[in-house]
Structure 1
């Protein structure tokens, strides 16, 4: 039997007249509107989050290359780079990365009129394939970020890099811990919003993503290796900064940049230094925030004081989850019951 593909010529848009092309174009637009209308709200929200991550990846890339690419540059190189960034920096699970690839390509096409080359998506999923075969990567995203402890912070301080980079990194993770800061909040800190007073630091944590700004105090630490006040003052003096972003990028030659570190870069610094120090658990940017809450609670601090530092709402399930975790060994039901 003769294959129809060999008997029928390929039909391309170039074979149609102008009137037919106009109708086809209108049908394409109608199809997109219909598909968008029936697309679930959660899917749309997921695609919006994927595109926001795509923008964060571009910010991270710009810090390292010195050149900002347009978000519409969805190519083989940028999409594979996005996969590697999600894996190495964001520590995302492979299935999550797979969904992000789809979200970026769909948003590029539907919202920005960019048709992503098939070769780009094929290459991205080829880069993803060995990640899906790695059990440790597959297990990512199952559970909360590990809460950092003061002992782990001392371990990180002992292993910090020499020079300006080490001073910045130590100040960054100790301030992130001490203000219970989200990575976006640490990124937004301003040098002139961190005031040195007799007892320590008065820190203005700016509003990020619609969350209220807050003013917190950071007390001097007893251990010089983990004192956030000492770390900040040392970094500030070495970098010669009195205003502008609190934390700046540093290139491989030790030169300071002139723009703020992105939230992704802040998370990268924490994760990289924890790994460098051989910390037994995987620490992320959120580990500093979780660690402050649990550490303060174990030290006997009141809930309202801890919430004022972290900026959690009074009825926040996440906050009370941290409190329960910190309290689980305090007056435990199984303690001293005659066993």
Structure 2
């Protein structure tokens, strides 16, 4: 017969005197400061970007529910919702989503003093697991957003819904294309910052994410269906806009909201409109920006003019990548060489 081992009483927690507690607390603080000091700059910047996306998700959710919860509520439901939003709205690659989960939980703890429940991170990664097995989602992390073309904008125009929402959608994606704008810049546009002149529109693009503001011109288009000037004027008149956000939510009953659309809301409208129109590729908010640059270049516009519109720096590798793509068939090395 096996001898029974008596259960040992639980160890009594150590009781520290005030002086010892003070030393231990100081060492904990010193450890945190040391770990923060040796953390690579890119990691810190990545965590800041992760938290900015978390804030954007909370803005997006608040826009749809009518109530914006505090960003420090990093719960199971919110974190799983964040994963779904990154997948379906931001079209993020699974590896990127995985990093975002870590960035949000670390920032919540270190910067806001919020300890994220383990069940929340476990649930978020459980929601992420099937996404990591999808080849199409994995491929999202490879390559740039497809550049929109005038032909695709024509498709989107023809498929836009009737009513106020349809007028807004057309004006939004055509304005995004016309100013070569990021979704955050389109979201920040103000009605009183868009002025009609004889040649078209003078548009003030506000500063977003510490990028400098810029003033651009948007000329009348030759095709009325894809003319950003006509689309803006039609939407502005229908919505009765004189000041405030240029693009706003429209309810299913056609009621106009007072607040501006979030960057993700602008991006969602573009992606949804392209999908409704049966566009062969998945367009995103950045597709309008890329589309303007490549289309303008193919039309023979000068690099400095295009950069002034898009706000790219002269040495931007992203900008020159777009130019190179647009110029692929200009005086191609294989063209007219006697073959």
* Bin for the TM-score computed over the shorter chain: over 0.9
Counterpart for residue 180 of structure 2: 180
Question: CA offsets per residue over residues 189-221 of structure 1, 9 Å max, x none?
Answer: 111111122222111112222322222211111
Q: What does residue 319 of structure 2 align with?
A: 319
Look up the SS of the partner of 1:140 in the other structure: helix
Which residue of 2 is the match for residue 263 of structure 1? Answer: 263
Unaligned runs of 5+ in 2: none
Aligned position for 1:277: 277
State how 1:266-305 maps to structure 2 within 5 Å.
266-305=266-305
TM superposition score normalised by structure 2: 0.93
- 1:102 aligns to what SS in structure 2? helix
In 2, Cα distance between the equivalents of 1:277 and 1:55? 31
Unaligned runs of 5+ in 1: none
Could you report, residue by residue, the CA deviation over 1:154-198 in whole angstroms, capped at 9, with x for unpaired residues?
111111122111111110000000111111111111111111222
For residues 22 and 54 of structure 1, the distance between their equivalents in structure 2, rounded to whole angstroms, comes to: 35
Measured in 1, the distance between the counterparts of 2:22 and 2:129 equals 41
Spell out structure 1 runs of 4+ moving beyond 6 A. none
Provide, for residues 98-132 of structure 1, a one-character-per-residue CA deviation record: whole Å limited to 9, x for no partner. Answer: 11111111111111111111111111111111111
What is the aligned length?
Answer: 336
The match for 1:233 is 233
Q: CA distance change for structure 1 residues 79 and 198 in 2, over 3 Å: closer, same or farther?
A: same
1:249 aligns to what?
249
1:56 aligns with 2:56: yes
Quickly say closer, same or farther: Cα 1:294–1:111, change in 2 above 3 A: same
State the partner residue of 2:116: 116
Q: Map of 1:28-47 to 2, 5 A cutoff?
A: 28-47=28-47
Superposed CA offset, 1:276-314 (max 9, x none) = 212111211111011001101111112222122112222
Q: TM-score, normalised by structure 1?
A: 0.93
1:139 aligns to what SS in structure 2? helix
Q: For 2:162 and 2:232, locate their aligned partners in 1 and report how far apart those are by CA, in whole Å.
A: 16
Counterparts of residues 1-339 of structure 1 (less than 5 Å): 7=8, 9=10, 16=15, 19=18, 24-339=24-339
3-state secondary structure, aligned to 1:216: strand
**Partner of 1:203: helix, strand, or coil?**
strand
The structure-2 alpha-carbon separation of the partners of 1:11 and 1:233, relative to structure 1 and needing over 3 Å to count, comes to farther
C-alpha deviations, 1:67-125, integer Å up to 9, x for none? 11111100011111111111111111111101111111111111111111111111111
SS state at 2:273 partner: helix
Q: CA deviation at 1:22?
A: 5.4
